[in-house]
Structure 1
Amino acid sequence: MDLLSKIKALIHATHIEEVEMIQQLWSGYGSIKRYSVEGCEMKSVVVKHVQLSSQKNHPRGWNTNLSHLRKVKSYEVETYWYQHYSHLCDDNMTIPKCLAFDEFNGDVLIIMEDLDQIGFPERLHQVGWTEINACLKWLAYFHAKFLNHQTEGLWEIGTYWHLDTRPDELEALEDLPLKNTAEKIDQTLNQAKYKTIVHGDAKLANFCFSADGKNVSAIDFQYIGGGVGMKDLIYFIGSCMSEEECEKYEADFLDIYFSNLKEGITLYHPELDPSEVIKEWKGLFKVAWTDFHRFLKGWSPGHWKINSYSEKLSQSVIQQLQ
């Protein structure tokens, strides 16, 4: 059976046609494509075709066996997320519904709702406060929903940059005070009392927007797992704000996120006191930022995200933890 026939059979369509390549997967591990379909309730579907057997060169040269195994596990985790957890998401944290998944010639197929068809056609490279509000609300309600939730089948520690999965980058890190504090930073985040399920790769590129920017859906759950909500928050802010904006609007970002988190915890966990969670996580904002900064400086020392704001936060965390 060829690929098109396989997809057609999985969603019970009578006709299928490839419309466009949405993107190649990172490091050549497959593709995400849109297909038009007939004979079923959808007009189109999006298919993530993960070619696990295809190991290609990593764009930054981190092409190690560890890197390959991390990639393979990330797709296993994403499939498990769609199978066992995604149905728990509601309208406060929209995600594309998974319509079907299967193995095909040793590869993985994840067939999803086409977000363009259900009101999320916009992909943005720059955002204003309307879109930032939508994303921070999505993250806050997602974190509230999965507060204290088990993470079986997901990454025990979510995000792709945490210390356990990045020994090569730590070895390459030349900032010795940061290198020497890396383990303590990692422990501080992992030993938090309140943990949730974090998206793990919550950059702007992984959000799809409604035409007016007020509503958003998240995609790409390869690095989903346990952690404090601050990990997603700092990564999102850093993905779409300049150094000056990060510093200037830090308090605003935190206010928007935590006011939504409070509402979310009240809604999903009325037995919990939101102020306890907020107090702990607020104290971990700089720690989470420094943790990502540690990864970046080891992975790509010339990266544009390495700036004086990150350095300043990093210095204060190193002093605090020493």
Structure 2
Amino acid sequence: MPAAPSPSEVASALLTEKGLQLRSLKVLQSLWAGYGYICHINASPETSPNSSGRTSRSASTVNSNISTPQETQSFILKLITPPPPKANDEGHTRKILSYQVEQYFYTHLAPQLPSWLPVAQCLAGINEHHPDGTSTTAMILTDLRQQFPIAGEKRDVLNSTQVNAALDWLSGFHGYWWPRVKDMDRRALVRQPLEDVKHEGEYHSKKTVWLNGGYTYLATRRKEKEGPFSISEMVATVLEPKEGGLGRMEEYQTLIPGDVKSENLFTTASGEQVAFYDFQYTGIGLGVCDLAKLFTCSVPLEMLVEDEYVPLELSMQEGEMRLLERYWKRLKEVSGKKYDWNVFLRHWETALVDWSRFQASWGFWGNTEWLEARVRLTLKDAAWKEDLRRNLEFSDVEGS
């Protein structure tokens, strides 16, 4: 098996295509299970042989508006060089597919976003698959830290200004894609990991984004599906986007980043603007599924409850409602679509139940007392259960 290319080799080759040369490279972190690296690189325009030290840059660099001549430019390299695929290894397969999904997002979808929805831009990339089953996937992305210098902390909370900025970014992202997601060809979307590979026959078939956005949904975690048909499976069935584009949730589905948390964003110094990154699990879903993770993992508890003591069962508090209203109003404004408040709240409660199921299986973190208390009360709500059953019956009919 040939040795995987080094980050410096990949960075140099990609930069050369854009009339740039590598000046320095620093590994920031390793990827999951040693599948690759995230690196910070500095580059500058290549020196022309006949320019006596003056610099030149290619048309592609000029058109990118990244910088001016003679400047050292800052980029991020994401390099994935995983081991060969393993038969029936769901976790491995999910990761391999997720990196291809992310590359599709940055090369095809990110350029469509309006300027008021900042994300990194992809300068160059490769996606090569080798006869021995290994692959090399890489992207050179603009460095968000140039404009958004404050990084979200690991498993930490944002301050109130940053929370509101994150909600505005998410409502803008969800609102922008909501009227557009119906035009996506669902036959080209990535299915559940093992089903997708079996259907396509190989990992390197052209990938777009996930049919079911996020990585926590029950169908992609088969080890959790044991015993009789449970409330978790009912919730998962109702939330699951259908390949045929049918289902009661269909009219509310949009494109979701799928892994929304403070660790995956940068903010301005004031905290009034944010930019998210990490789009490996981008796909179709309800926007509230992104919110469920954000509220649990990154929103200060005092913004959700009135008292530090959280009872065993908890109804929605004023702080939680204010945050939801902010998101809901801007979502409708950006999308130009209607979303009844009571329907929105039902969706929100259902997303919390689904997220709680994932945490119960994989470990609780964040505002766990708040999440569990909210879910306990929801599960005792007869009206919520009846609404879930109606939606489940509708899903069964449409899926038959």
| 1:211-222 mapped onto 2 (5 Å cutoff) | 211-222=269-280
Aligned residue number for residue 61 of structure 1: none
Give the CA deviation at 1:258: 1.2
Matched, 1:256 2:287: no
Mapping of 1:69-80 within 5 angstroms? 69-80=93-104
- SS at the partner of 1:241? coil
Which 10-residue stretch deviates more, 44-53 or 195-204?
44-53
Find the aligned partners of 1:275 and 1:298 in 2 and give their Cα distance: 32
Alignment of 1:28 onto 2:86: no
Alignment-derived partner of residue 310 in structure 1: 371
1:121 to 134, 146, 149: 149
- Aligned residues of 1:229 and 1:281 also touching (Cα < 8 A): no
8 Å Cα contact 2:296/2:367 also seen in 1: no
**Distance 1:54-1:215 versus aligned 2 partners, 3 A rule:** farther
The DSSP-based 3-state class of the residue aligned with 1:92 is: coil
Match of 1:286 in 2: 349
Residue 362 of structure 2 aligns with which residue? 299
Q: Which residue of 2 aligns with 1:181?
A: 231
Partner of 1:195: 253
Q: Mind listing any 5+ residue stretches in structure 1 that lack a counterpart?
A: 57-63, 267-271
Of stretches 234-243 and 216-225 in structure 1, the one that deviates more from structure 2 is 234-243
Report the Cα distance in structure 2 between the residues aligned to 1:80 and 1:22, rounded to whole angstroms. Answer: 23
Q: Which residue of 2 aligns with 1:5?
A: 12
Which secondary structure state, in structure 2, belongs to the residue aligned with residue 110 of structure 1? Answer: strand
User: Which residue is equivalent to 2:210?
Assistant: 155
Misfit runs of 4+, over 4 Å: 242-245
- Tell me the amino acid that sits aligned with residue 360 of structure 2: K
RMSD of aligned residue pairs (Cα, Å):
2.5
- Over 3 Å counting, the alpha-carbon distance change for 1:304 and 1:218 in structure 2 is closer
Provide, for residues 102-133 of structure 1, a one-character-per-residue CA deviation record: whole Å limited to 9, x for no partner: 1367210111001122x111103342221111
**Rounded Cα–Cα distance in structure 2 between residues aligned with 1:87 and 1:298:** 37
User: SS at the partner of 1:109?
Assistant: strand
Give, in angstroms, the shift of residue 285 of structure 1: 0.7
Q: Is the 8 A contact 1:28 1:54 kept in 2?
A: no
Asked whether 1:103 is paired with 2:127, we answer: yes
Q: SS of the counterpart of 1:14? A: strand
Deviations 1:79-101 (A, max 9, x none): 11122211111123210011111
Corresponding residue SS for 2:38:
strand
Give the alignment partner of residue 83 of structure 2, picking from 18, 32, 53: 53
C-alpha distance in 2 between matches for 1:99 and 1:240: 30
Looking at structure 2, the residues matched to 186 and 243 of structure 1 have their Cα atoms a distance apart, in angstroms, of: 27
Q: Which has the larger radius of gyration?
A: 2
Q: State the distance in 1 between where 2:119 and 2:268 align.
A: 13
Partners of 1:307 and 1:86 in 2: CA distance: 33
Aligned partners of 1:143 and 1:229 also within 8 Å: yes
Q: Which amino acid aligns with 1:168?
A: K
Q: Give the structure 2 partner of residue 146 of structure 1.
A: 177
Q: Could you tell me how far apart the structure 1 residues matched to 2:304 and 2:31 are?
A: 29
Say whether the 8 Å CA contact 1:145–1:264 is kept in structure 2. Answer: yes
How many angstroms does 1:140 deviate by?
A: 0.1
The Cα shift of 1:243 comes to: 4.9
Aligned mates of 1:82, 1:242 — CA distance in 2: 30
Aligned partners of 1:134 and 1:216 also within 8 Å: yes
Is the 1:144–1:265 Cα contact (8 Å) retained in structure 2? yes
Alpha-carbon distance between aligned partners in 2 of 1:54 and 1:214, rounded to the nearest angstrom: 43
- Once residues 170 and 328 of structure 2 are traced to their aligned partners in structure 1, the CA distance between those partners, rounded to angstroms, is 10
1:60 aligned partner: none
User: 1:181 corresponds to which letter in structure 2?
Assistant: I
8 Å contact from structure 1 (residues 127, 240) kept in 2: yes
Contact 2:259 2:279 in 1 (8 A): yes
- Cα offsets for 1:62-93 (capped at 9, x unmatched): xx811000111111111111222111111232
The answer to whether the Cα contact below 8 Å between 1:29 and 1:55 also exists between their aligned partners in 2 is: no
User: What is the CA distance between 1:52 and its match in structure 2?
Assistant: 2.1
Q: Which residue of 2 aligns with 1:66?
A: 90
Aligned residue-pair number: 299
Distance 1:168 1:246, change over 3 A: farther
- The answer (yes or no) to whether the contact 1:297–1:306 under 8 Å persists in 2 is no
| Number of the residue aligned with 1:59 | none
What amino acid sits opposite 2:220 in the alignment? T
